[in-house]
Structure 1
């Protein structure tokens, strides 16, 4: 009597779990493609917003497309702290953008104001607050790439880009639609690649498992 080769078996539960994970990744990729079209519409709206009439500064995130880059103003009661980021001045030069974390009263979320661009990160702006005019923008984006790609990242807080800078700093470059990259196609491709890699890894794992059992 000759030995019959063991029939390859596919584990039910692991296969279901991997299949669900792959479907979720594909769904996220499709969702990012849909978001790409929505972002294109938002970019077109943001490009026209700087020339539109001023609006009240939003107190809480997210910053909606219809007010992004619109002229606005805030009153910084006191500067609580400073944040330094790489930035570009209105004259095209680069440097360090100084962002004031302001209080606006005894309670409330406060407000962020990009007051100007300096040449040294440790510059101490001679500005303690007051009424500021500028454009509505968003805080610098330091959210993790995976959180942004999955849509689970918290919304960015509103930030005012000051039209004029205090002594010792250059005015920050006015906002443009070019400041808002449309990365949704790249995110979609990443999710599709993740799905494909997951399938390949699982197939290789099954082959190794079956080969080990047949040995």
Structure 2
């Protein structure tokens, strides 16, 4: 019987240890993500408005009701979006310049046509902070229809599947290495 190669075995064991550690890290991330999603769900039900921060909102404010004052609009654009009836179409957006000197992306509302800009030229905006970050206007602005409200339940918490993948990678590496050692022992 041949000796087990020390360097190769250490490399495989180090790789397997790293994969197992990554699996446990994903399990921790799963709990953190669940807490974050619960925080977002709670913020969504809080009807009190927060002022849009000068540097833009951090993730802790996502799904909160907010307001801002758009002193000037510099750009209109469109992205895929859904209305409150869950119909596909376009979300019309505007880049707003704030009195504080910063900018904010405002989702004005929904339309079926990407080139429909609306007539909005700025002013006070009320809505919900969505990831991006962007403020989804509620009520909609510029004669557009209402967007589907941002919903934190649409964010995936797939860290359990990532953890399972890492554990399976580690198991696969061990099985393959055992097969290589077995073949080497025979040869």
2:149 pairs with 1:174: yes
Alignment CA distance shift 1:21-1:44 (3 Å): same
Once the two structures are TM-superposed, the CA of residue 206 in structure 1 deviates from its matched residue by: 4.7
- The 5-angstrom pairing of residues 24-39 of structure 1 reads 24-39=18-33
Do 1:79 and 1:129's aligned partners in 2 also have CA atoms closer than 8 Å?
A: no
2:181 pairs with 1:185: no
Once the two structures are TM-superposed, the CA of residue 170 in structure 1 deviates from its matched residue by: 1.9
How far does the alpha carbon of each residue in 1:149-189 deviate from its partner, in whole angstroms, 9 at most, with x for none? xxxxxxxxx22111122346321112233222222212222
- Equivalent residue for 1:115, pick from 108, 115, 124: 108
SS of the residue corresponding to residue 16 of structure 1 reads helix
Q: What TM-score comes out, normalization by structure 1 length?
A: 0.69
Do 1:135 and 1:174's aligned partners in 2 also have CA atoms closer than 8 Å?
A: yes
Once the two structures are TM-superposed, the CA of residue 205 in structure 1 deviates from its matched residue by: 4.7
Would you tell me which structure has more strand in proportion to its own residues?
2
CA RMSD of aligned residues (A): 2.9
2:82 pairs with 1:91: no
Alignment CA distance shift 1:22-1:93 (3 Å): same
Task: Give unmatched runs, 5+ long, in structure 1.
Answer: 1-5, 140-157
Do 1:118 and 1:168's aligned partners in 2 also have CA atoms closer than 8 Å?
A: no
Q: Distance in 1 between matches of 2:56 and 2:174?
A: 42
Task: Give unmatched runs, 5+ long, in structure 2.
Answer: none
Do 1:125 and 1:166's aligned partners in 2 also have CA atoms closer than 8 Å?
A: no
Q: Distance in 2 between matches of 1:168 and 1:211?
A: 77
Q: What TM-score comes out, normalization by structure 2 length?
A: 0.77
> Which residue number corresponds to residue 37 of structure 2?
43
SS of the residue corresponding to residue 132 of structure 1 reads strand
